[in-house]
């Protein structure tokens, strides 16, 4: 057999109400997924400060995924609109920081969409594997 | 309306057993100012035999022609034959869905096909591009007083993902055209039932049963004639009508005419120009009925004018 | 800090694909961890006791449980640690079941992932702060949206329990679908005979305030303190005057108005009382058909009305109500069969829907309970029922089962035989779903006693032959094609979400599934709660269900509200934003961002103007935190530091 | 139907083969029978199309490949158009035919023969030569009088060509055939 694929380091910020529930639904339905992703629960995708994404990518993440409720379906009515606006700006900004914007993705998954979550994780993980490990960056914040 | 012009693919049947369809299509196109430029050195589309061998192979046989159309610098292939249409549409559909498939198809071809051509039936051109307003402008002898049922067959609208034309369960394009040229179109529940397709030679009993059901329903609907848009349907319903009568114990004599022939009649062309006399079942009675209908209409118009005065 | 870590096996649910022992071992090496163990079922009583003992023995001041989703057991364990004297927010969960053991097959990779997640949770809990909820007063009125059988039951139970109920129904009368039905399975009692008295109770209950022909305009606030704007649509009749005498209906010259109550099988008058048992029994003008509105002249009803109730100038009115909880009972709609072309797309008069058939069967329906087919008013002898029309059909976007059609088909077939003894009914079905008490027996009776012929196969096409409807289907048990010539075809159209369900969900901030049905908090354990505190569900708005289940849920939702209101004070969630007044520069960005208007300005004792969070209003979304330039406003329990600590813990193993 | 021993006769590879070649998920079929209900050829099939789907589900390769149904299906697309599970049923039938052809299991010899003669004509001329096809079929199938009654009806009309139309680029058509056959050989 060929050598084992090394796991990528992927962080996911998921809103508590929709996407985290969607990931739970995927679990309850036993929808198999790649194991690279680590999920961090936030109340709302609007809570995700673009800085988190940048910090994660700078401190060694190969990919960052943010997932929230579908537009108009936000538990906090408009949090995901804020998130979308901010994160879209971020995506355009990443290249200027020397980061491949494909390492960051923003998506919507509702609590009932276990299957969709499975697809999102599988696709994003594949995308990150295709990009390969993130180039080593000089770490400013730590040490 | 800017002048319409298309790459034209007649197909093998239209060169021989279904010459009437080719001739009437070209005449009607001419009158409607639709330019049909025959695809140079076109080859057989592969029809149904090809896809029973392999889908790659079938697509390649069809795509050779599509590649020529590309070379002509045209973006639309038009064919009157639904069987050919289906072969082209499926090739385009499968190739555009799957890049690997496309590459493999092109590896079988001398000249690759790059998906820059779409395929349409001549019926679709009539219905969507020419439109009923423009058709009605050319009608000088409306088909008054006759009942015609449209028979679409299987492939013009199915499967809907591939065909992308008209309603897959209740198509109305031919109905609309027939009404536009003055015919009366009764309710016909067998618009889409299969006629038995290409099994005429190998499984005659199947064809005479299925086609027999279609004819029976048409006659029960009060039809004087059946309009078709497919050479195979025409052959099964017309050429095999005596076989049907023999196998099924019927005694039907109902003319089966191409939609283009019926349009040609309404545009004032003669039955022989449209090769209506080349069909198996005679249309004389049907044609007489049209003449009678026309005369009656003229008479009643005259009367109403004189009564107004 | 002294942190304890508890790794759960969940039987073999986790332990089957995660090396839990190894995770517990590894955790011992994380900073601040002084105790780490694994246990078979952590949420069981002994499991919880073990946590409590460890807190005491090891003097823990932070606990991490790695087990299922926090959406499942966070509250369980918070109570556990609280009982052992720890603040309930000094606790974190790592989800190693739904997010690890159930979705990954590679045990080694799963174990590694579980270790990472535990490390991240430990890093976070290290930065947790004790939080303390505040209490606030509850408004004990309840809003019920939807006056079908589920909403009525909920309203009556709440009202009987002493709560003031505001019931909003969008139609002119309450009653919902059940008011249209003839008889109901499985007992075949007359629908309106059992529903009518309930409707009267709702109409007369001193604790119920009824707004019919009204819709929710806007909802603001939070559990215990909602403010609701209700649009009372113009009826053009002053209901304080109208006595329901019906004179206007008799004289109205516009007699071709669409009658939604009769599902369009017979027309009604432009001014009408929807049905004889309507509550409230008041008239209403349909301006789409009224000549006064269309042509500007008529005025017959105004002249005839003995109490001068008619008011052509009437406008919609918005009223505001304050409530502490909301029960949503908006029911369902039926699949539009005109989308199914192969069944005639609604063009054949003698192919009707099941709800239309209920009206034909109904003694107070347009045919006075005589089954007459629409095309020629003849009595049909051969009736074909088609099951699963617009249900269990991926191609139409409705893959789910509509739950009650199998049963009402059996009912309608039985009733058909009662009405027309020499008739023969056929049912095309795929499966018979009859799992309720007495249901299977009921379906068997239809076949054995009433001679209904069930054919296992789907219908491919319906078309006309002479004056018959030809139904072409298959009998898959025989493996053949079959054809029937029917006088009347009844399509069992499936249940779909009520139109407007999605818009209402957005106003309520509750979630809905891809089909528009509302999502409950937990499908088994919290079936009538939503994820929004104070909003409950009842009836078919949550998913297709029959009357017994709808009524059961109505009562369940009411009891949830009653128990919520059993306290005078509610505790607010302390996971809310908090301003560090030293850092705030009064840029007001947070104030502009907060969707709840939960932030105001205030002056500190030092005279500095800063942002300040209104604790009862803040919902804890954290939008402000992500907005604040100096990081002055922090969402507690989800601060920048806490989240970044999680991120770091992942990368710096 | 004879007893089917599911332990010994279930062929999962066949299920996979059909699924891969057709791109359809066979397990999605819930046996509603709508395809059979609308199939114009049901009356002539030995197994109605929904049963073919079922037989594929339980891996009954031999029964499926030896059925008449797969050869009598006319690809009319009624089943594909109406399947509530959005399965391209006609495509599945087509794939079964292709597999049967590859494995030389052809229940309806005449149908295959006709297809082969048809394609031969395409290969030879670039277009089909109707009279040649009919004559060859009659000879090879041994059914000499097939459609003999139609001759007098059609020949006098002068529509049929008595000589084949050989297109200029007929070798480019022939190459499609040869490259395709080579491709198969190379894969094997
Ligand atoms: C043909 C047929 C026969 C049936 N027969 C039976 C039977 O015999 N036995 C049985 O147990 N079940 C039967 N059922 C099922 C039964 O109809 C349902 O179980 C029941 O109606 C569900 O009640 P509900 O209150 O949840 O919804 P509904 O009856 O749909 O009531 C919902 C109410 O909410 C209102 N509403 C909707 N949206 C809003 C809004 N935004 N604002 C305000 N109000 C709103 C609606 O106008 C309606 O009055 C049958 C169903 C059909 C289609
Ligand atoms: C094999 C199997 C698998 C199942 N899987 C699922 C599933 O996956 N999902 C699902 O939703 N449902 C499932 N169920 C159904 C599920 O078990 C029931 O829905 C559920 O247990 C019903 O709960 P209950 O409290 O009403 O009854 P029970 O669970 O039966 O509880 C009744 C309790 O009352 C006690 N009791 C009885 N008589 C007396 C008495 N006289 N005095 C005092 N105590 C008494 C009993 O000892 C018992 O503890 C399954 C059932 C079976 C058999
Ligand atoms: S805590 Fe969660 S994971 Fe552990 S036994 Fe209980 S349900 Fe299972
Ligand atoms: S509006 Fe007047 S006439 Fe009509 S029902 Fe009411 S009281 Fe009677
Ligand atoms: S004014 Fe309108 S509602 Fe009143 S009687 Fe005339 S048509 Fe009927
Ligand atoms: S209840 Fe019966 S008829 Fe209704 S969708 Fe389910 S299976 Fe079909
Ligand atoms: S967290 Fe901030 S934005 Fe969200 S509700 Fe509270 S104060 Fe408003
Ligand atoms: S955004 Fe931050 S700095 Fe600006 S007012 Fe709000 S808390 Fe103060
Ligand atoms: S219609 Fe589709 S789902 Fe139904 S039996 Fe045929 S293939 Fe299966
Ligand atoms: S495509 Fe074949 S199987 Fe499908 S309906 Fe047509 S003849 Fe029957």
Chain segment C186-218, per-residue pLDDT in tens: 899 999 999 999 999 999 999 999 999 999 999
Does residue A89 sit within a domain?
yes
Does residue B156 sit within a domain?
yes
- The answer to whether residues C288 and C201 belong to one domain is no
Report the pLDDT value the prediction gives residue A1, as an integer from 0 to 100.
36
- The answer to whether residues B171 and B276 belong to one domain is yes
Report the pLDDT value the prediction gives residue A138, as an integer from 0 to 100.
56
CATH value at residue A61: 3.40.50.960
Q: Pairing state of beta strands C488-493 and C351-353?
A: parallel
Report the pLDDT value the prediction gives residue D182, as an integer from 0 to 100.
86
- The answer to whether residues B152 and B212 belong to one domain is yes
Does residue C136 sit within a domain?
no
Does residue A104 sit within a domain?
yes
Residue partners of C452: CB distance under 8 A and separation at least 6: C410, C413, C414, C417, C425, C426, C427, C446
- pLDDT confidence bin for A140, thresholds 50/70/90: very low
Report the pLDDT value the prediction gives residue D137, as an integer from 0 to 100.
87
Question: Looking at the complex, does the CB of residue A114 fall below 8 Å from at least one CB of chain C?
Answer: no
Whether the pLDDT of residue C140 is over 90: the answer is yes
Of D32, D35, D51, the CB nearest to C430: D32
CATH value at residue B110: 1.20.1050.140
CATH value at residue B218: 3.40.50.11810
Does residue B67 sit within a domain?
yes
- The answer to whether residues C220 and C255 belong to one domain is no
CATH value at residue C270: 3.30.70.20
Report the pLDDT value the prediction gives residue C162, as an integer from 0 to 100.
96
Does residue A139 sit within a domain?
no
Does residue B226 sit within a domain?
yes
- The answer to whether residues B79 and B37 belong to one domain is yes
Mean pLDDT of chain C: 95
Number of domains in chain A: 1
Does residue A56 sit within a domain?
yes
User: What residues line ligand 3, using a CB cutoff of 6 Å?
Assistant: C 8, 10, 13-14, 41-43, 67-68, 72-73, 97
- The answer to whether residues B170 and B115 belong to one domain is no
- The answer to whether residues C444 and C354 belong to one domain is yes
Tens of pLDDT, residues C595-646: 888 899 999 998 999 999 988 788 899 999 999 999 999 999 999 999 999 9
Residues above pLDDT 90, as percent of chain D: 52
- Domain that residue A29 falls in: 10-131
Query: Collapsing DSSP states into helix, strand and coil, what is residue B201?
Result: coil
- The answer to whether residues C322 and C173 belong to one domain is yes
Opening angle at CA B188, ends B185 and B190, nearest 5? 140
Does residue A143 sit within a domain?
no
- Domain that residue B50 falls in: 4-123
- The answer to whether residues C391 and C460 belong to one domain is yes
Does residue C98 sit within a domain?
yes
- The answer to whether residues B66 and B160 belong to one domain is no
Number of domains in chain B: 2
User: What residues line ligand 7, using a CB cutoff of 6 Å?
Assistant: C 576-577, 593-594, 596, 598-599, 613, 618-624, 635
- The answer to whether residues B190 and B96 belong to one domain is no
pTM of the model: 0.86
- The answer to whether residues C110 and C19 belong to one domain is yes
- pLDDT confidence bin for B17, thresholds 50/70/90: confident
Report the pLDDT value the prediction gives residue C232, as an integer from 0 to 100.
97
- The answer to whether residues B229 and B283 belong to one domain is yes
Does residue B128 sit within a domain?
no
Q: What is the Å distance from ligand 3's center to B6 Cα?
A: 68
- The answer to whether residues C420 and C514 belong to one domain is no
Q: Check CB contact under 8 Å for D180 and B44.
A: no
Residues above pLDDT 90, as percent of chain C: 91
User: How far does C471 lie from chain B, in Å, by closest CA?
Assistant: 12
Does residue A5 sit within a domain?
no
Whether the pLDDT of residue C36 is over 60: the answer is yes
Residue among D19, D24, D27, D29 to mutate when testing ligand 9 (max atoms within 8 A of CB): D29
Residue partners of C36: CB distance under 8 A and separation at least 6: C4, C5, C6, C7, C24, C25, C27, C28
- pLDDT confidence bin for B2, thresholds 50/70/90: low
Does residue C625 sit within a domain?
yes
- Domain that residue C280 falls in: 234-315
Number of domains in chain C: 5
Opening angle at CA C499, ends A44 and C535, nearest 5? 45
- Given C315, C350, C376, the domain boundary residue is C315
Question: Looking at the complex, does the CB of residue D72 fall below 8 Å from at least one CB of chain B?
Answer: yes
Instruction: Assess whether the C-beta atom of C168 lies below 6 angstroms from ligand 1.
Output: yes
Does residue C133 sit within a domain?
no
Q: Check CB contact under 8 Å for C103 and A26.
A: yes
Q: Contacts by C598-604 with C-beta closer than 8 Å and gap 24+?
A: C599/C624, C599/C633
- The answer to whether residues B109 and B163 belong to one domain is no
CATH value at residue C105: 3.40.50
Token pair belonging to C394:
């991926």
- The answer to whether residues C339 and C486 belong to one domain is yes
- Given C467, C496, C525, the domain boundary residue is C496
Tens of pLDDT, residues A91-101: 888 888 888 99
Whether the pLDDT of residue C235 is over 90: the answer is yes
Does residue A18 sit within a domain?
yes
- The answer to whether residues B81 and B193 belong to one domain is no
Tens of pLDDT, residues D125-137: 888 888 888 888 8
Is C497 within 8 Å of C484 (Cβ atoms)?
no
Asked if ipTM goes beyond 0.95, one says: no
Question: Looking at the complex, does the CB of residue D108 fall below 8 Å from at least one CB of chain B?
Answer: yes
Instruction: Assess whether the C-beta atom of C430 lies below 6 angstroms from ligand 8.
Output: no
Whether the pLDDT of residue A71 is over 80: the answer is no
- The answer to whether residues C420 and C480 belong to one domain is yes
Whether the pLDDT of residue C233 is over 60: the answer is yes
- The answer to whether residues C357 and C485 belong to one domain is yes
Token pair belonging to B156:
């013009």
Does residue C23 sit within a domain?
yes
Report the pLDDT value the prediction gives residue A5, as an integer from 0 to 100.
62
Is C122 within 8 Å of C5 (Cβ atoms)?
yes
Residues above pLDDT 70, as percent of chain C: 100
- The answer to whether residues B152 and B110 belong to one domain is no
Report the pLDDT value the prediction gives residue A2, as an integer from 0 to 100.
38
Is B253 within 8 Å of B134 (Cβ atoms)?
no
- Given C461, C496, C531, the domain boundary residue is C496
Is C447 within 8 Å of C454 (Cβ atoms)?
yes
- The answer to whether residues B99 and B234 belong to one domain is no
Is B183 within 8 Å of B141 (Cβ atoms)?
no
Token pair belonging to C82:
């609280």
Cα–Cα distances (Å) from B244 to B210, B247, C53, C315, D143, in that order, read 9, 5, 91, 70, 19
């Amino acid at each position: 057999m060929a050598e084992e694929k090394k796991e990528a380091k992927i962080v996911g910020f998921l809103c508590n109400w929709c996407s985290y529930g969607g990931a739970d639904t995927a679990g309850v339905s036993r929808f198999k997924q790649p194991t690279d992703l680590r999920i961090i629960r936030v109340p709302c995708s609007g809570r995700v400060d673009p800085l988190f994404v940048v910090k994660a990518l700078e401190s060694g993440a190969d990919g960052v995924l943010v997932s929230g409720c579908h537009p108009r379906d936000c538990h906090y009515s408009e949090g995901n609109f804020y998130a979308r606006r901010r994160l879209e700006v971020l995506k355009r900004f990443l290249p200027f920081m020397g980061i491949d914007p494909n390492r960051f993705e923003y998506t919507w998954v509702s609590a009932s969409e276990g299957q969709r979550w499975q697809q999102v994780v599988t696709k994003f993980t594949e995308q990150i594997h295709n990009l390969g490990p993130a180039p080593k960056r000089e770490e400013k914040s730590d040490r | 309306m800017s002048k319409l012009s298309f790459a034209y693919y007649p197909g093998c049947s239209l060169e021989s057993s279904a010459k009437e369809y080719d001739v009437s299509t070209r005449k009607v196109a001419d009158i409607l100012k639709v330019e049909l430029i025959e695809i140079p050195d076109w080859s057989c589309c592969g029809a149904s035999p090809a896809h029973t061998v392999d889908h790659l192979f079938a697509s390649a046989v069809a795509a050779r022609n599509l590649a020529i159309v590309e070379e002509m610098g045209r973006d639309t292939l038009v064919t009157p034959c639904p069987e050919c249409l289906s072969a082209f549409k499926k090739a385009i559909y499968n190739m555009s869905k799957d890049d690997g498939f496309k590459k493999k198809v092109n590896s079988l071809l001398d000249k690759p096909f790059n998906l820059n051509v779409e395929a349409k039936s001549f019926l679709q051109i009539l219905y969507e591009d020419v439109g009923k307003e423009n058709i009605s402008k050319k009608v000088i002898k409306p088909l008054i007083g006759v009942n015609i049922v449209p028979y679409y067959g299987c492939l013009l609208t199915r499967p809907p993902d591939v065909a992308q034309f008209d309603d897959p369960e209740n198509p109305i394009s031919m109905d609309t055209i027939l009404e536009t040229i003055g015919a009366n179109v009764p309710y016909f529940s067998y618009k889409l039932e299969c006629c038995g397709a290409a099994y005429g030679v190998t499984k005659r009993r199947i064809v005479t049963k299925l086609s027999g059901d279609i004819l029976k329903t048409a006659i029960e609907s009060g039809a004087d004639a059946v309009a078709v848009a497919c050479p195979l349907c025409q052959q099964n319903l017309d050429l095999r009508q005596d076989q049907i009568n023999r196998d099924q114990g019927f005694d039907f004599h109902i003319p089966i005419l191409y939609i283009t022939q019926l349009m040609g009649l309404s545009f004032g062309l003669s039955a022989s120009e449209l090769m209506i006399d080349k069909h198996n079942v005679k249309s004389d009675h049907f044609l007489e009925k049209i003449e009678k209908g026309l005369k009656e209409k003229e008479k009643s118009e005259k009367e109403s004018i004189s009564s107004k005065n | 800090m002294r942190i304890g870590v508890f790794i759960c096996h969940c039987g073999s649910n986790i332990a089957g694909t995660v090396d839990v022992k190894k995770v517990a071992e590894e955790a011992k090496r994380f900073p601040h961890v002084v105790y780490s163990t694994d246990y078979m079922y952590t949420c069981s009583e002994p499991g919880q006791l073990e946590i409590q003992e460890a807190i005491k023995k090891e003097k823990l001041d932070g606990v991490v449980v790695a087990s299922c989703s926090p959406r499942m057991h966070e509250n369980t364990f918070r109570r556990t640690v609280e009982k052992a004297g720890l603040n309930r927010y000094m606790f974190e969960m790592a989800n190693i079941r739904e997010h690890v053991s159930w979705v990954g097959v590679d045990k080694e990779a799963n174990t590694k992932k579980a270790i990472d997640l535990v490390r991240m949770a430990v890093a976070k809990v290290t930065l947790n702060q004790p939080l303390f909820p505040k209490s606030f007063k509850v408004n004990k009125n309840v809003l019920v949206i939807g006056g079908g059988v589920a909403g009525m039951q909920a309203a009556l139970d709440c009202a009987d329990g002493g709560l003031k109920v505001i019931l909003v129904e969008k139609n002119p009368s309450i009653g919902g679908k059940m008011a249209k039905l003839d008889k109901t399975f499985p007992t075949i009692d007359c629908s309106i005979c059992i529903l009518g008295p309930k409707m009267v109770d709702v109409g007369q209950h001193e604790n119920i305030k009824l707004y019919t022909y009204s819709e929710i305009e806007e909802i603001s606030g939070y559990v215990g303190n909602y403010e609701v704007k209700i649009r009372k649509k113009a009826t053009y009749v002053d209901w304080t005057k109208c006595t329901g005498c019906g004179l206007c209906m008799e004289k109205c010259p516009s007699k071709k108005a669409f009658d939604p109550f009769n599902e369009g099988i017979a027309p009604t008058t432009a001014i009408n009382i929807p049905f004889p048992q309507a509550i409230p029994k008041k008239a209403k003008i349909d301006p789409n058909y009224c000549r006064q509105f269309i042509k500007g002249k008529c005025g017959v009803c105004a002249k005839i009305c003995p109490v001068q109730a008619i008011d052509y100038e009437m406008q919609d009115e918005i009223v505001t109500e304050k409530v502490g909880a909301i029960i949503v009972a908006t029911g369902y709609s039926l699949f539009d069969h005109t989308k199914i072309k192969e069944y005639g797309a609604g063009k054949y008069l003698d192919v009707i829907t099941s709800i239309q058939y209920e009206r034909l069967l109904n003694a107070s329906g347009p045919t006075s309970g005589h089954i007459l087919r629409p095309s020629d008013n003849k009595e049909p002898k051969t009736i074909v029922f088609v099951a699963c029309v617009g249900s269990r059909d991926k191609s139409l976007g409705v893959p789910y089962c509509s739950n009650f059609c199998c049963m009402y088909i059996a009912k309608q077939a039985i009733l058909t035989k009662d009405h027309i003894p020499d008739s023969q009914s056929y049912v095309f079905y795929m499966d018979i779903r009859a799992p309720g008490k007495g249901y299977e027996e009921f379906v068997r009776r239809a076949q054995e006693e009433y001679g209904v012929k069930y054919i296992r196969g789907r219908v491919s096409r319906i078309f006309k032959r002479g004056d018959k409807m030809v139904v072409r289907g298959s009998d898959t048990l025989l493996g053949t094609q079959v054809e029937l010539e029917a006088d009347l075809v009844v399509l069992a159209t499936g249940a779909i979400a009520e139109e407007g369900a999605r818009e209402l969900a957005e106003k309520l901030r509750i979630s809905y599934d891809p089909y528009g049905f509302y999502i409950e908090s937990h499908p088994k354990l919290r079936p009538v709660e939503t994820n929004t505190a104070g909003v409950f569900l009842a009836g078919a708005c949550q998913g297709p269900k029959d009357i017994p289940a709808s009524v059961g849920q109505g009562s369940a939702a009411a009891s949830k509200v009653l128990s919520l209101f059993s306290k005078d004070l509610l505790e607010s969630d302390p996971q809310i934003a908090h301003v560090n007044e030293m850092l705030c520069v009064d840029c007001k960005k947070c104030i502009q961002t907060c969707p709840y208007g939960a932030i105001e300005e205030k002056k500190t004792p030092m005279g500095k103007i800063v942002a300040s969070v209104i604790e009862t209003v803040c919902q804890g979304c954290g939008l402000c935190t992500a907005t604040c330039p100096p990081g002055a406003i922090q969402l507690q329990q989800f601060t920048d530091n806490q989240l970044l600590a999680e991120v770091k813990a992942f990368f710096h193993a | 139907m004879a007893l089917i021993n599911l332990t010994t006769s279930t062929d999962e590879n066949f299920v996979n083969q059909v699924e891969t070649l057709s791109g359809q998920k066979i397990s999605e079929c819930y046996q509603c029978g709508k395809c059979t209900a609308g199939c114009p050829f049901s009356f002539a099939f030995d197994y109605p199309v929904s049963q073919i789907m079922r037989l594929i589900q339980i891996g009954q390769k031999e029964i499926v490949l030896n059925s008449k149904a797969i050869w009598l299906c006319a690809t009319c697309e009624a089943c594909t158009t109406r399947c509530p599970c959005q399965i391209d049923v006609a495509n599945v039938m087509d794939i079964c035919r292709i597999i049967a052809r590859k494995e030389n299991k052809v229940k309806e010899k005449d149908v295959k023969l006709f297809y082969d003669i048809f394609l031969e004509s395409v290969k030879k001329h670039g277009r089909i030569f109707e009279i040649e096809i009919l004559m060859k079929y009659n000879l090879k199938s041994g059914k000499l009088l097939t459609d003999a009654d139609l001759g007098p009806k059609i020949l006098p009309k002068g529509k049929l060509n008595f000589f084949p139309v050989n297109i200029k680029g007929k070798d480019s058509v022939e190459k499609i055939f040869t490259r395709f056959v080579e491709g198969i050989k190379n894969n094997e």
